[in-house]
Amino acid sequence: MQNDPSKKYQPFQHAPKLTDRQWPRRTLTQAPRWASVDLRDGNQALAVPMNISQKLELFQTLVKIGFKEIEVGFPSASNTEFAFNRLLIEKGHAPDDVWLQVLVQAREDLIERTVESLIGAKRVIIHMYNSTSPAQRRVVFGKSKDEIKAIAVNGARMIKDRLHRLTAGGTEVMLQYSPESFSMTEVEYAKEISEAVMDVWQPTPQHKMILNLPDTVEVAMPNVYADQIEWICRNIKNRDSLIISLHTHNDRCTGVAATELGMLAGADRVEGTLFGNGERTGNLDIVTVALNLYMHGIDPKLDFSNLGSIIDVYERSTGMTVPPRQPYAGELVFTAFSGSHQDAIKKGLAEREKNSSSPWDVPYLTIDPADIGREYREVIRVNSQSGKGGVAYLLESEFGIELPKDMQREFGPIANDAVDKLGREVSGAELKAMFWKEYIERTSPWNIENFSTYSKNGKVNCQGSLYFKEVQTGINGNGNGPLAALVNGICQISYAAQFEITNYSEHALSSGEGAAAIAYIQIKSADGKSRWGAGVDTNIELASVKAVLSALNRL
């Protein structure tokens, strides 16, 4: 890297002077028109482009999601692209309310081939573009502003001259123009060349054209792009005859931000791809922008209620994978490993169950995972960074083990140490095994057999065979209840620790006649040490007895 990058790089030079910008004071209240460019912009970025069957499956998925404008390809670029258009039209795969968008450069041979590919379609968008930025004009084309404008105007005329071949057969046509690299172009020149195209196509408020303003390569902060969009919206002629469209990329990792600010700045339409697939760092991720609107209570007009199945089709069709931290879609985005986060999520979900009609307000979860086909059990997972809340949540949600709060504080660090030694995430079953080993299976040095009780005159007597390090002794204790009698009997043994029960709870683990119960008991020794124990049995009294001995063994 350069010690002084200013010697090699310079700040963006073409930001419009917009001192009274309005977009910062606006609020989004409705979804834009959406246009998927997965089958063109996304496809051209793949190491192995999709074949016709893969494109068809993805197209059908896009239709199912609710896209009404889908850029299906660049039909003049290859036989495969042309054949795909014909398949959609001739086999009736394109619903009547879906616009088939095609991309074409301002060249006569390419325009001719593009029109041929659309014969017989119900609705089409012909999207013409040419590059307009200073670097493109100088390096790629070696042409002046007027010469670049002439390319756009001639292309617009060639398209207009051929429209009758489509409209005569009943095809509804919408025209779209993109000054490619708009965000790197002087706004005054972008306006000039766009208005020159408008002069040819003559859009009206009743029959609008799309003016697509691409952030082809991100070279400035997203607020600059918003200023550019607002400047065009305020200064271009016949604004009411235009649909202003955004097409952002992600070179600075701000494609979503640029799009949202561009919408505030007056844009009507957004182009992008599922999960941001596209050249370099990718196109705009439409899923993210749509669900960002959704989390603010705005209907995005796209259906991502089964996001998992959409991911399956996307990955199968493109060969790409959705990263685990991809917003909304990634495997880990509704997962909390941090103990404090887990505890907050657990409490938030519990509150939500009590009042499901209130607005969603669960800590760390921007939307309800269930709304996009995810499950609550995916929310909390456990690794060495987790705390008692996550441990308790998994034990309760997967096995019905409802640890008392104080017991969570005791078992949490024990589980954390064990997980830390493993050095990886653990499953609920592994946590249960840790709990069983630490509490339920603690049967030495103290153990008991043949435990029985009887009541007389409000008092309970217990008897049984008590073992300490496999040495048997009888037990005979009295108390107000079975556990009090048990404690009394143990404390009469000279070598036993003196202790008392300080906490007790129990619940069923399952239903039915053979259902097991689990008891949790905390004891406190004469010297002030406390320990929890747990016991499981189909008889709740015996489960409690086992819990006392578990705690005593741990003490």
Note whether 461 and 446 are within 8 A (CB). no
Distance between CA 108 and CA 362 in Å, rounded? 57
Inter-helix orientation angle 307-318/52-65, to 10°: 160
Note whether 346 and 393 are within 8 A (CB). yes
Residue 513 in this model has a pLDDT that exceeds 60: no
Note whether 325 and 332 are within 8 A (CB). yes
Lowest mean pLDDT among 94-103, 233-242, 443-452, 507-516: 507-516
The whole-number pLDDT of residue 164 equals 97
Question: What average pLDDT does the chain have?
Answer: 93
Residue of 309, 302, 310, 291 lying closest to 360 (CA atoms): 291
Sheet holding 446-456, edge to edge: 446-456, 459-468, 471-479
Mean pLDDT of 212-229: 97
pTM given for the model: 0.79
pLDDT band at 394 (very low <50, low <70, confident <90, very high): confident
Beta-sheet strands, E only, within 168-250: 172-180, 209-215, 242-248
The whole-number pLDDT of residue 387 equals 72
Distance between CA 107 and CA 129 in Å, rounded? 10
The whole-number pLDDT of residue 375 equals 72
The residue written with tokens 């600010």 in the block is 261
Distance between CA 367 and CA 369 in Å, rounded? 6
Lowest mean pLDDT among 16-25, 48-57, 311-320, 418-427: 418-427
The whole-number pLDDT of residue 2 equals 86
Question: What separation in angstroms does the CA of 141 have from each of 134, 149, 194, 336, 495?
Answer: 10, 12, 19, 52, 97
Question: What separation in angstroms does the CA of 150 have from each of 112, 178, 380?
Answer: 19, 14, 60
Mean pLDDT of 315-344: 89
Mean pLDDT of 385-390: 76
Distance between CA 114 and CA 294 in Å, rounded? 37
pLDDT band at 512 (very low <50, low <70, confident <90, very high): low
Residue 391 in this model has a pLDDT that exceeds 70: yes
Distance between CA 392 and CA 370 in Å, rounded? 21
pLDDT band at 483 (very low <50, low <70, confident <90, very high): very high
Residue-range domains of the chain with CATH: 28-318 (3.20.20.70), 339-438 (no CATH), 446-554 (3.30.160.270)
Sign of CA dihedral 236, 240, 241, 245: positive
pLDDT in tens, 42-88: 999 999 999 999 999 999 999 999 999 999 999 999 999 999 999 99
Q: Beta strand pairing status for 459-468 and 471-479?
A: antiparallel
- Where is 507: in which H helix or E strand? strand 499-508
Mean pLDDT of 405-422: 90
Number of alpha carbons in the 13 Å side-chain half-sphere of residue 411: 31
In one letter, which amino acid is 162? R
The whole-number pLDDT of residue 376 equals 59
Query: Averaging pLDDT over each range in 220-234, 328-342, 379-393, 510-524, which range is the top one?
Result: 220-234
